[in-house]
Amino acid sequence: MLDPQLLRHDPEGVAAALARRGYQLDVDRWRYLEDRRKTQQTRMETLQAERKEISKAVGEAKKAGDEETAESRKARAEEIGTELEEVQEEYEGTRAELDAWLWEMPNLPAPEVPVGEDDTANVEIRRVGELPSFGFTPQDHVAIGDSLGLLDAEAGVSLAGSRFTVLRGLGARLSRALGQFMMDLHATEHGYTEIAPPLLARGETLEGTGQLPKFGDDLFQTREDGYYLIPTAEVPLTNLQRDSIADAAELPARYVAWTPCFRREAGSYGKDTRGMIRQHQFDKVELVQMVHPDHGLPAWEELCGHAEMVLQRLELPYRVVELCTGDLGFAARRTFDLEVWLPGQNAYREISSVSWCHDFQARRMGARFRAQGGEKPRLVHTLNGSGVAIGRALLAILENFQAADGAVTVPTALRPYLGGRERISAD
């Protein structure tokens, strides 16, 4: 959520920043509502003060035996009470409209974010690793997974419908190995606390990180009690700091979780229907940090490095791309995407998105810290990133490490998690 004080003092500046990401703020409407809110609040305060004075005068009149004056002032007090109820109701309506607007406004992009309407304006920062060279036409992960008995799309459709895939045998084991490898790396070498969160969340929990109300159509919801299946572990991990005040010494807080994620992909029908690129259910290792505001930017760059380390250890070529204003996520101030090379598609595809959300999520959640020196509590900065998407790492390994005989070489970092296995073949 944006700072209401910023909107009150500089709505034109906020509107200009939001326009860079394609959001049009009706400044005139905002000013009208703000002026109405202030007028109503002032009137309420005036009426409350007058009623207090009249109550005092009634007591004095009764004490003096002046019943006529006491009754007259009591009648005025009742008139004030009626008017106060009406003004309060109007005030609450105005506040509700302003609050609803605030909840639906996206975060302000940082000044450094490249301006653009969509992903075609994203800016490549760097490329890491050499693209594999094959003496044959490389296959995509669907063909490889089918020939090796690792992926079973037909079973997924039979069990649950489109955009579901069953992993079989070494396919399931490879997925498990990837998750264990990533968790060990982040918990042991990068200093994250491992968390096993609930896979269901309340609506207010998703409001805290920005999935609601804007992206409700992309979520799966239980029928009777209204729980949501989490679209990412970012939701429960970030909300661990909800409505709390941490000590400055407790920052940064770093959490990592390996969970299934559930998304309708409501805005993506017709895209990536083949294979495991875009699924309704997928496993992901998620990294979340809560940091001191002075450390937001360096923490974001550090978190990106933690995600990159996964791809480097797996020997997968990738590139880092900064998202333009039109491609930024709702809660993000800046975002780096890591895109892994897929020979079967002859293209880079996203495998991790690393975002710095500034104080946007913290304000929605009430996540604060107590600064040293007696200062009042301040909002933390939140950061999140995939560390990384397990399904996409699996398919990237199948495509990048495929051999002419149809087998797949296991990256060195994963071999201890697969009992020392060096190759996956049909034999």
Catalytic site positions: 263, 278, 350, 353, 392
d(CA 273, CA 263): 14
Is the preceding peptide bond at 11 cis, omega within 30 degrees of 0?
no
d(CA 339, CA 132): 15
Give the pair of three-digit tokens for residue 35: 């002026």
Give the pair of three-digit tokens for residue 197: 């969160």
Q: Strands of 347-356's sheet, edge to edge?
A: 123-128, 318-322, 334-342, 347-356, 381-389, 281-291, 253-262, 193-194
d(CA 23, CA 25): 6
